[in-house]
Amino acid sequence: MEWKTCSFCEGTIEPGCGKKYVKKDGSVMHFCSSKCEKNFKLGRVGRKVKWTNTFKRINRGQ
């Protein structure tokens, strides 16, 4: 069993949890919660949403 990383917020996903979403082009997206999945489907980018780990990592010193 391996731990996955959320494709939207970069949070860790325990084995047996989360959702897998396969796009038409064959790429696989892993989501830790329905909150991340819905934000992705709305077209939002994790780098611009303030509660994600990605945003916090990029804007650490600002």
What residue numbers does the annotated binding site for Zn(2+) cover? Answer: 6, 9, 32, 36
Q: Among all chains, which residue has been given the structure tokens 């780990």?
A: 53
Beta bridge partners of 28: 22
Other C-beta atoms closer than 10 Å to the C-beta of 33 total 16
Residues annotated within a binding site: 6, 9, 32, 36
